[in-house]
């Protein structure tokens, strides 16, 4: 089954404790992206990657890191999480081209206390 998976689905952590949210896709998509969704603000793009070893900042990259060592994986790293990073996070992937139809993972609900 074609899908994007994220882990963990739910995470409660404390300020400053490094964490990683994994994202994996099995569709051989070149493009992958991370978004956060907050009430009243909609989805905002954090980072995206056009292919292996190619990453770039989105609209709200501060406080986040990513890596793309393999085509299928695109982990999101919070080196020192803060309460303002409490949010619902989505990973997405797509082929590159005119359609850019993005497939989203199920989301990770992160709470930083």
Residues that bind other proteins (CB under 8 A): 31, 33, 35, 40-45, 48, 50, 56, 58-59, 88, 90, 96, 98-102, 104-107
Three-class secondary structure assignment of 6-59: EECCEEEECCCCCEEEEEEECCCCCEEEEEEEECCCEEEEEEEEEECCEEEECC
Residue closer to other proteins, measured from CB, 91 or 112: 91
Minimum separation from the CB atom of position 13 to other proteins (A): 20
Minimum separation from the CB atom of position 16 to other proteins (A): 27
Minimum separation from the CB atom of position 94 to other proteins (A): 9
Residue closer to other proteins, measured from CB, 17 or 107: 107
Minimum separation from the CB atom of position 65 to other proteins (A): 18
Residue closer to other proteins, measured from CB, 70 or 101: 101
Phi, psi of 84 (to 5 degrees): -75, 0
Structural contact between residues 10 and 109, judged by C-beta atoms closer than 8 angstroms: yes
Structural contact between residues 60 and 48, judged by C-beta atoms closer than 8 angstroms: no
Strands 10-13 and 108-112 turn out to be parallel
Residue closer to other proteins, measured from CB, 27 or 96: 96
């Amino acid at each position: 089954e074609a899908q994007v998976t994220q882990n963990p689905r739910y995470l409660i952590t404390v300020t400053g404790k490094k964490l990683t949210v994994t994202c994996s896709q099995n569709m051989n998509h070149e493009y992958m992206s991370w978004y956060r969704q907050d009430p009243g603000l909609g989805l905002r793009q954090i980072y995206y990657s056009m292919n292996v070893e190619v990453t770039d900042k989105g609209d709200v990259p501060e406080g986040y890191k990513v890596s793309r060592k393999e085509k299928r994986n695109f982990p999101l790293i919070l080196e020192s999480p803060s309460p303002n990073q409490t949010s619902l996070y989505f990973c997405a992937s797509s082929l590159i081209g005119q359609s850019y139809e993005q497939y989203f993972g199920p989301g990770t609900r992160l709470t930083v206390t």
